Structure 1
Amino acid sequence: MSKQLPWFRVYTRMVDDDKLKLLAFEDRWHFVALLCLKGEGLLDKGDAPGLLMRKIAVKMGLDVRTLEEVARRLAEVGLVDQTSLQPTKWDGLQMRSDNDPTAADRKKRQRERAKTAKPAPGNDVTDDHGQDTDASRVTGTNVTRTDTDTDLDKEPQVDTPEVEQDSVGSPQPGDAPAAAAPAASPTDKAKGTRLPKDWVLLKSWGDWALKERQDLTAEDVRREAACFRDHWVGKAGADARKADWEATWRNWIRRVDRRKAAGAGASAQGAGKFAGAAAAIYDGVEL
C-alpha cells in the first residue's frame, strides 16, 4: 500500500482460527508481526526480494534462513505468500477508509455539524401555558434554514459491504446471508390461460388427430374432445392453465388408449374413411 496505516484490523475470532491452530505458538506471533509490518508499509516499499527479506528479518529478530522457514510454514496453511510475505487476505480484512488520512478531520466536522443542528432550549417566560411551538416562541413565523451544509465530507463509498470475516479474511458461516438468487420475473414464463368453457374442437385439430391416430374413428375423436373439454374446464389449480392448448390436445390424443368400436377398425376403409370421417366430427364452430 502506498500509505502507511497507523493501525490495522484484527478480529477476536483469531484465537479460534483453524489455520492459526495449525501453527506452532511462535509462528502465530510471526504471522502477527508480519501483519504489523504490512500495516507499517514495510512490505510495500518495492524493495528487491533479498533486501526485503533482510529488513523483515531484522524487524522480527530472526536470521534470513530462519525467516525463510517461517515463510514456508505460513504459506503452507495459506496465510502469506511465501516469496513476498504479503498476507493473502489483507484486502478482505482491512477497510479502505482506514487508510484515509482525512477521515478523522471529516468525522470531527460531522460531529460539530450534528451538535450545532440541535434546536436551542426553549426560552418561553410568558405566563401563557398554552401549547407553544418553537416557531411561535421566536418570531411567530416559519424560519427557512440558510445554513445548510453543502460540504460533501462523507465517508467514501466502499465497493463491497463490510462483512465480518475470520482472522484470515474468510466470511464466517451464518454471519451474512448468502446472496439470494434473483426471483424470476412473471414475464420470464408464459402465464398460460384456462380452456374456455365453450371450447369446441377446431377442424385443424381434428384433422391432425385422425392422421396421427388412424386407429381412432371420427366418433372416438369427438368423444375425446368432449372428455378433453370437461377435464380441463373442471380442473382447478395452476396446472389448469396452459401456455399452448393445441400442444396439450396433441399430447392428449397421443396418450389415448381406446379400442376401436366393433367393426370400425378394418383396414378396408383405408384413406376413404379418413376423408369422410374428418368432415363428420365438427360442429361447424371454431375458436
Structure 2
Amino acid sequence: MTVAVSEADASVVNVTALRRSTTSEVDVCCEVKLPVKYDVEAALQAQGRVEVQGLQNARVRIATEEGGAAVNRLQSLQVIYRTSSGPLLVKGKLLSSLQASATRVLSISGDMIQGGSVEVNAPKIECNLQSLHLNSLQLAADDVTLRVNDVTCHTSSIQAEHAHVLIGNYSGGMTWQFSSMSLEVAVPRLHGDSSVVATRGRVSLGCPTEYRYGICVTGQDVCMHREFKEVKCIAADIKDAAGDMKDAAGDMKDAAGDMKDAAGDKGRQRVLAGPSSPLLSVTLLEGRCSLVPWTWPRTRH
C-alpha cells in the first residue's frame, strides 16, 4: 500500500496497517510519501519495522517493540527512538540530535551521526558506527559496547558496570566511569580536563608524544613507551616498558585533584607527563594501563 501526502492535505496524517490473521505469513507493507518538511511519528508493535528517509524536518519520533528502525539521509532537529529491543540502523548521515532508550537491549549501528547531542539509556547498549561528531554524548547502561572509528565530541559522559570501548581517534573531552572495562582509544586532542576511572580492567591509550595535553595515570601496572620523554613518576616498582623513564623522588601534586596519593597506596604507581592543563587523568585500580604513541591514521596499540 502506498499513500502520497501533498502540502494541501491535512496537517496530521494517520496511517494504520493491520494484519487480519495473526497466523498469516504475509507481511503488511505500507509506504507513505510526505513533503520533505513534515514531522513524523511512527509507532509499531511486535516485529514491525520502519524506515524514515530523505526528510528535513523538526522532529522524528519512532517507537517499536522488537522490530527495528532505520534512518536514511535524515536531517532533523531531534530524533527520539523508544524500543524494547529493536535495533536502530543509521544509513548515510544522520544530521540530528538523538535520544534513544530501550527496556532491554539497544543496538545502534551504521555510518555517521552529526548533531548537537546523543543520549542513550538502556540496560545493555551496543553501538557500532563509523563516526560521531557531536557537542555532547551521554551513555548510561549496565553493559556498554562502543566501537567507533572516529569521534569528535566537546564533552562525553559514559557510565557503566561493564564496558568494552574501542575508538580509533577521539578528540574532545570525556568523563568515563566503569566498574570493569576493556578500553582501547587514541586521543590526538583534548578539549578541557578529562578523566577515565575504573576499578579493574585493561587500558591502552594512544597519546601524542609532543604533549598536546598533560597525562596523569594512577594504577597497579603502568607501562609507557620510550618515546614519551620527561616523565615524572612515584612508585617503587614502576614498570618502564622501554627502559628510559626517570624516577622522581619526593612529593608530587595530584593535578587531577581527586586521586589518592600513590605513595600511600601499596602497589600503586603514578605517572605524570606533559603540561598541567588540559589534563587526561586515568585511574585503574586493578589491571594494566599502557600508553603508546599516537599515529595517524591509526595507532598501533
TM-score bracket for the superposition, by shorter chain length: under 0.3
Q: Which structure dedicates a bigger proportion of its chain to strand?
A: 2
TM-score (norm 2): 0.18
Larger RCO, structure (CA 8 Å, separation 6 or more): 1
TM-score (norm 1): 0.19
Q: Which structure dedicates a bigger proportion of its chain to helix?
A: 1
* Higher Cα radius of gyration: 1
